Amino acid sequence: MSPMASQNDPITIDQVEDLARQKISSQAYNYYSCGADDQRALESNRTDFDSLYVLPRVLRDVSHVDTSVKIFGQTLPIPIGIAPTAMQRLASPEGELDVSRAASSMGLNMTLSSNSTTSLEDVISARQQTSNTVPPFWFQIYLHTKLELSVPLIKRAEAAGYQALVLTVDSPVLGNRINERKEPLILPEGITLANSKNNSSNSRKPTFNRVMMDARNKKKYEQGLLEADGREYNASLTWKSAMEFLRSTTNMKIIVKGIMAPEDAQAAIDHGADAIVVSNHGGRQLGCAPSTIKALPEIVNVAKGRIPVIFDGGVRRGSDVFKALALGADFVLVGRPVLWGLGFKGREGVETVMNILERELSRTMALAGTARVQDINSSFLRQSVDGRLNKL
């Protein structure tokens, strides 16, 4: 670790993670950091960026680099938003409140997990006006088997002022998360799932979905379903049933998160999604799934600019953001880095993470020879094949 990092002044996301790991509990770190199965998808999300090279262009005016983008008609200072991650008070006492304050102070987009440890109303109340604009906050949700159980939460999010609903679609069941099965997550005293209808000590226990994840045989799994009584994640959803339900329930924009196949990108467009998120759930669902950066080009080719394509998975450097944008993403989300910032130093740590990514992206753009995000495209990328650099 560099001398600066050792003085609690990290200059890379990896250094922030090292510092956060020293501060948060081992149970929280293992929960946040683990992937599914043998963690291949988790690893490839990061390492597959390394097969892409940025080809520098020179003698191009990069005296002013503009990292701003528009999403749903609103201008944001950087093409990077905060992904939904659960139970942030495991990383810091203020948890989601600190993330909200950091996002709003920097004018950034934030998506709140429905499994947050702070109520959705309190999180958006902590959002502050910045430069005469209010940064867009979105709300992530899973749908229950009994769809009516999801309605009150959706209505609360809309009434509170969230501008989009992010529907996670890659979790009909939870992936095989070995770390969680070895050490089931039980929330510490004083921390609950704050958006739960039964916000009590019961919401500190492992959820029905996590209990069923650890079922060792079919009988125990089916017993878990009976006990859940429709409160488990909905495994019977279809494009038609999900989108019709949401359109009849809310006027918020609907973003579908968990798209990895080009056919599903087309289905999302056909069924009226306002945007999609290319995501493999941070490698936490299907361990043998491809990395999101490998899946991105096919999905962009299907979308053809008709709706925004948002990207997440494995981003740890500003150059990773550049590469995702070059492959056609309109916007990029980061999850674990924000948790590491939160664990490192609360709100200030989250701001540190986002500033690191902004500076790295701006520097990459200047060295690549492009001054605007809108001008980033695949011509700036090369891939090594049989020892040669090939165009994508």
For range 159-171, the mean pLDDT: 97
Residue type, 8: N
Whether 267 is in a domain gets the answer: yes
Query: Which structure tokens are listed for 63?
Result: 């005296």
Q: What is the pLDDT of residues 302-338, one digit of tens each?
A: 999 999 999 999 999 999 999 999 999 999 999 999 9
Rounded to an integer, the average pLDDT of 264-268 is 98
Please report the sign of the dihedral spanned by the C-alpha atoms of residue 193, residue 195, residue 200, residue 203: negative
Write phi, then psi, for 67 (nearest 5 degrees). Answer: -95, 5
Residue 201 labeled ligand binder: no
Are residues 137 and 110 in contact, defined by beta-carbon separation less than 8 angstroms? yes
Q: Does residue 6 register a pLDDT over 60?
A: no
pLDDT of residue 220: 79
pTM of the shown model? 0.94
Categorize the per-residue pLDDT at 5 as very low, low, confident or very high, splitting at 50, 70 and 90: very low
> Per the domain annotation, does 339 fall within a domain?
yes
Q: At what angle do helices 336-368 and 13-23 cross, to 10 degrees?
A: 170
54 within domain boundaries: no
For a pLDDT cut of 70, what percent of the chain falls above it? 94
Query: 73 a known binding residue?
Result: no
- On whether 316 is known to bind a ligand per the annotation, the reply is yes
Residue 390 counted as domain residue = no
The owner of tokens 């947050």 is: 116
Q: Which helix (H) or strand (E) holds 311?
A: strand 309-312
In a domain, 391, yes or no: no
Burial of 390 (0-12, 13-18, 19+ CB in 10 A): exposed
Q: Is residue 172 part of a domain?
A: yes
Q: How many domains would you assign to the chain? A: 1
18: part of which helix (H) or strand (E)?
helix 13-23
Contact 376, 68 (CB under 8 A): no
2 lies in some domain: no
Q: Classify residue 389: in a domain, yes or no.
A: no
Question: Which pLDDT score is estimated for 203?
Answer: 60
Which residue range is the domain that position 315 belongs to?
16-45+71-358
CA dist 302 and 313 (Å) reads 20
Residue 281 known to bind ligand: yes
Residues with a catalytic annotation lie at: 281
Domain with 116 in it: what CATH number?
3.20.20.70
- Does 347 carry a binding-site annotation? no
Please name the helix (run of DSSP H) or strand (run of DSSP E) that holds residue 126, with its range, or none.
none
Reported as a pLDDT band with limits 50, 70 and 90, residue 4 is very low
